[in-house]
């Protein structure tokens, strides 16, 4: 990047604004700090630190695509600006792009050989890359059985000392079992690994027989509740049932992805959801989110949590296979599309295109394509499409939403994927709703949670709720050490 001629007076003014931005950053006013850093850049675009500092703000807001572009700009100005390599590595790590992160971490360690923390992160990243390459080689071996097919659950012995809920010999889940399961989880106790495997495998089998898009109806004389991200916040998750009603034949639930990661009770959340899915297969619906994926689970805690609580890598592998089988979208009453992320980079996508996605073959969503965009995209207020601030998927405007709904004979899009101060936001002329169900996200954001109750005549009622107390276990307790890079 060629330097632009700037007068000393303008340079001084830019430095003053940078100082104001630094103060805003220190006060955790990241959006306002971004505006100030942008103003400094407008005055003097020759300073790598301005771009790197703005990248740090975007990192705090999880706008990883913007982090990467700002780090690129900083390094174009000064290839030796190591902080920018570190910022870019962090963003790529957050996106599960471990090979790209590894390249920058090698630069950081080379330029700062005394940085022990950077060396530790480099070593961990190298191990993850090596393990992923090994897993891919196994995955493409047609003769290698799936983890689920290689497990003999019947051979697992339940010790006489086990005092928790048990699944009967007929292997059927009962309402009593699920209630006992929830009570045990509230007391921070585990169920036996045999029963955990039975629940996971039962849902995997059910989901593998399901299409990628599922049509559902609101129960006659009852209601359907749509919930957004719960992110391992078990006690807030159970509070939804306590206040809004438990799943039943008259009360259906749709949980719209991101059951796991971040919160440190992800295992309890997902096993409860899976148990209810087995109990009420036509009343509990589960969609895949961007965090029901291997790369996210490696960074944000779910893989570490499964290993810590069950000391069983096989269990995580079977969870991964089950997440791969989760449906990608639901249509309520032929009128409301529900997906985790959002819409597409193409204008011609139909519901049939979603139905035809071979999610079982794809397994992981990748960085582009319909499956990726369903899980990662976000709405924007302005018309058209733009690259997503997250670095994956797209941002889509109200015109894109309107055209997609009209093309497919739909009235509304409900999606999740983004924390909202009041738990939900209605955008795009009332046609696009975001619902997020993890209040006081990561014990730090202070937001409300929300869910949507829908009646048989398709009337929507938005309900907000506050966080409830939980045991003294911090968020990201089981995350990789990269969580420190992410400011968690």
Residues labelled as active-site residues: 291
432-435 sheet: strands from edge to edge? 213-216, 329-332, 336-339, 412-415, 432-435, 424-427
Q: What is the distance between the alpha carbons of residues 375 and 356, in angstroms, rounded to a whole number?
A: 16
Two structure tokens written together for 138 = 């196994």
CA distances from 58 to 68, 240, 306 (A): 9, 32, 30
Residue that the structure tokens 């850049």 belong to: 41
Sorted by sequence, the CB contacts under 8 Å of residue 37 that are 6+ apart come out as: 18, 21, 50, 53, 54, 57
**DSSP state at residue 156:** P
Q: Give the DSSP H or E segment for 19.
A: helix 8-26
Helix (H, G, I), strand (E, B) or coil at 251: strand
First to last CA, the chain: 33
| Contact (CB, 8 A) for 389 and 395 | yes
Q: What is the distance between the alpha carbons of residues 382 and 314, in angstroms, rounded to a whole number?
A: 46
Helix (H, G, I), strand (E, B) or coil at 328: coil
Helix (H, G, I), strand (E, B) or coil at 425: strand
**Nearest to residue 466, comparing CAs of 235, 186, 257?**
235
**Nearest to residue 249, comparing CAs of 280, 227, 275, 277?**
280
Two structure tokens written together for 481 = 């050490």
β-strand pairing of 424-427 with 449-454: unpaired
Would you say the C-alpha torsion 67, 398, 453, 372 has a positive or negative sign? Answer: negative
Residue that the structure tokens 């940085």 belong to: 115
Two structure tokens written together for 246 = 């438990």
Helix (H, G, I), strand (E, B) or coil at 126: helix
CA distances from 97 to 68, 102, 166, 276 (A): 12, 9, 41, 34
- CB burial readout 251-288, b (16+ within 10 A) else e: bbbbbbbbbbbbbbbbbbbbbbbbbbbbbbeebbbbbb
Q: What is the distance between the alpha carbons of residues 305 and 96, in angstroms, rounded to a whole number?
A: 18
CA distances from 348 to 217, 359, 400 (A): 26, 20, 11
């Amino acid at each position: 990047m060629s330097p632009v001629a700037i007068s000393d007076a303008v340079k001084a003014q830019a430095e003053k604004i940078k100082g104001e931005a630094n103060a805003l950053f220190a006060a955790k006013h990241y959006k306002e700090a971004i505006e100030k850093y942008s103003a400094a850049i407008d005055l003097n675009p020759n300073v790598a630190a301005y771009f790197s500092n703005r990248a740090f703000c975007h990192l705090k807001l999880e706008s990883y695509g913007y982090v990467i572009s700002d780090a690129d700009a900083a390094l174009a100005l000064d290839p030796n600006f190591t902080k920018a390599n570190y910022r870019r590595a962090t963003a790529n790590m957050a996106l599960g792009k471990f090979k790209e992160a590894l390249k920058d971490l090698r630069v950081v360690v080379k330029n700062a050989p005394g940085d022990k923390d950077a060396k530790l992160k480099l070593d961990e990243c190298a191990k993850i890359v090596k393990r992923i390459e090994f897993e891919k080689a196994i995955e493409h071996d047609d003769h290698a059985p799936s983890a689920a097919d290689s497990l003999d659950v019947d051979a697992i012995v339940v010790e006489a000392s086990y005092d928790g809920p048990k699944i009967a010999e007929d292997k059927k889940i009962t309402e009593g079992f699920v209630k006992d399961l929830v009570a045990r989880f509230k007391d921070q106790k585990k169920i036996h690994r045999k029963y955990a495997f039975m629940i996971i495998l039962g849902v995997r089998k059910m989901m593998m027989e399901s299409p990628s898009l599922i049509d559902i109806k609101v129960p006659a004389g009852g209601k359907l509740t749509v919930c957004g991200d719960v992110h391992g916040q078990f006690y807030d998750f159970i509070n939804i049932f306590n206040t809004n009603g438990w799943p039943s034949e008259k009360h259906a639930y749709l949980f719209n992805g991101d059951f796991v990661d971040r919160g440190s009770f992800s295992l309890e959340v997902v096993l409860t959801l899976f148990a209810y899915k087995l109990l009420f297969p036509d009343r509990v619906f589960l969609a895949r989110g961007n965090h029901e994926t291997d790369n996210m689970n490696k960074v944000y805690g779910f893989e570490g949590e499964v290993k810590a609580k069950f000391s069983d890598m096989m269990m995580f592998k079977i969870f991964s296979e089950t997440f791969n089988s989760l449906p990608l979208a639901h249509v309520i009453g032929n009128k409301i599309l529900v997906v985790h992320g959002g819409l597409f980079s193409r204008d011609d996508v139909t519901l049939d295109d979603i139905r035809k996605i071979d999610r079982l073959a794809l397994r992981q969503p990748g960085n582009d394509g319909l499956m990726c965009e369903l899980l990662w995209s976000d709405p924007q207020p302005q018309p058209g499409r733009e690259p997503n601030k997250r670095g994956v998927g797209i941002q889509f405007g109200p015109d894109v939403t309107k055209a997609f709904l009209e093309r497919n004979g739909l009235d509304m899009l409900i999606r999740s994927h983004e924390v909202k101060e009041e738990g939900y936001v209605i955008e795009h002329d009332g046609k696009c709703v975001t619902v997020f169900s993890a209040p006081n996200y990561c014990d730090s954001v202070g937001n409300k949670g929300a869910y949507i109750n829908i009646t048989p005549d398709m009337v929507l009622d938005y309900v907000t709720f506050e966080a409830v107390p939980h045991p003294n276990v911090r968020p990201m307790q089981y995350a990789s050490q990269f969580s420190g890079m992410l400011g968690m």
